[in-house]
Amino acid sequence: MILKTVQLFLAVEHNQPHSIKPENDANISSFILLGFSEVPKLQVLIFGLFLSMYLITVLGNLLIILAISSDPHLHTPMYFFLCNLSFVDICFTSTTVPHMLVSIQRENRAISYEDCVTQMFFACVFTALDDFLLTVMAYDRFVAICHPLHYTVIMNPRVCGLLALGSWILGSLACLLQNTLLLRLSFCMDVEIPNFFCELKMMVQLACSDTFVNNLAMYFSAVLLAAAPMAGIIYSYSKIISSICRISSAQGKLKAFSTCASHLSVVSLFYCSCLGVYFSSSATHSSLSSSTASAMYTVAAPMLNPFIYSLRNRDIKRALKAFLLKR
C-alpha cells in the first residue's frame, strides 16, 4: 500500500509541466537497465547466481533475527543493533534483486519512471541505514570496551531505541531530498542506465536539464551519509585500539579484540564495496563494471554479514542451534 502511494505521488510529480524543457525531452515514461550482459546464454547463469544469493541473504539474516529474538540472553544493545542491521539487509537486497530476476525471466529490461524513482529512494534509504547502524554499532563497542562500568547506564534501552529511530529518520529525510530534486529534472532520449537497478548518480547523469543543485545535494548527502559515519567509526576504533593496548594480559587483549572483529570485517566489506562503486562509475560507464561493483554492496555484503557474525560468535551459534532444535 505504501509503495503504491509513493508511486502515485511520483507519477503526479512526473506529469507536472516543467517551466523549461530541452527540445529533445520526450516525457520519459521508462528507463532501460542494461544489467550485466545481453548474451542470452549468460542470462540463465546470472539468474541462477543472483537467485541463490538472494535466498541465502534472506534466509541467513532471517535466522539471525529469529535467533536473537528467541534468546533472552541476546537482548542486549549489541544484538539489538545487529537485529536491525539484518532486517535492513533483507530489505536492501529485496529492493533490487527481485526486479532484476523478473526482468531476466521476462526478457524485458525496461522499468517505468515511477518504479525507477521508487527503487532509487528505497535503495538510498537502506544504504544510509547500513551506514548509520554500522556507526552506532562501533559506538556501542567503544562504550563497552572504553567505559565498561558505565555501559548499562549509557546504552540503556531508551538510548538504543533513539539511536535506531534517528538512523531511520536521517536516512529517510536525506534520500527524500534527493528524490524531490530528481523529480524536477528532464530526461533526454538516451535513457539507458548502465546498472541492474536505478542508482541516483547515474540517473542524474542522464538528465538534460541543469543538475547543479542535484550535484550539490549529492555532495551534501555524501558528507552526511558516508563521510560523517566513517569518521565516527574511525574515531571509535582509534579509542578502542588505544584502550586495548593498555590491557596488560594477552588473553584480555584477544578477548577485547574478538568482540570487535566481526563488526570491523562487515565495516571493511561495506565501505570498500561502496567506494568501488563510485570509483568505477567515475572511471568508466561500462554496464558490466558498474553492475559488478554495485552488486558487491547491494547483494554480496548483505549475504556475507550473517556468516561473518555467526562464524565468529559463540552466542549467535548457540542461539541458532537452540532455535533450530526447538523447531
User: Residue ranges of the domains in the chain?
Assistant: 30-326
**Cβ within 8 Å of residue 17, ≥6 positions away:** none
Amino acid letter for position 50: F
What is the predicted pLDDT for the residue at 161?
95
C-alpha neighbours within 13 Å on the C-beta side of residue 146: 17
What's the maximum distance between 2 C-alpha atoms anywhere in the chain?
A: 72
Tell me: the pLDDT tens digits for 149-173? 999 999 999 999 999 999 999 999 9
Nearest to 194 by CA among 50, 299, 290: 290
Q: What is the average pLDDT score of the chain?
A: 84
Tell me: the pLDDT tens digits for 263-276? 888 898 888 877 76
Residue 223 scores a pLDDT above 90: no
**Cβ within 8 Å of residue 284, ≥6 positions away:** 290
Tell me: the pLDDT tens digits for 178-202? 999 999 888 877 688 888 999 888 8
**Cβ within 8 Å of residue 54, ≥6 positions away:** 93, 94, 97, 98, 101, 299
Q: What is the DSSP letter of 155?
A: T
- Here the cell at position 183 is 523529480
pTM of the entire predicted model: 0.85
Nearest to 76 by CA among 279, 323, 264, 313: 313
Work out the percent of the chain whose per-residue pLDDT is above 70.
87
Domain with residues 30-326, CATH architecture: Up-down Bundle (1.20)
Tell me: the pLDDT tens digits for 14-35? 444 433 333 334 457 789 998 8
Distance of alpha carbon 300 from alpha carbon 280, whole angstroms: 17
Residue 219 scores a pLDDT above 90: no
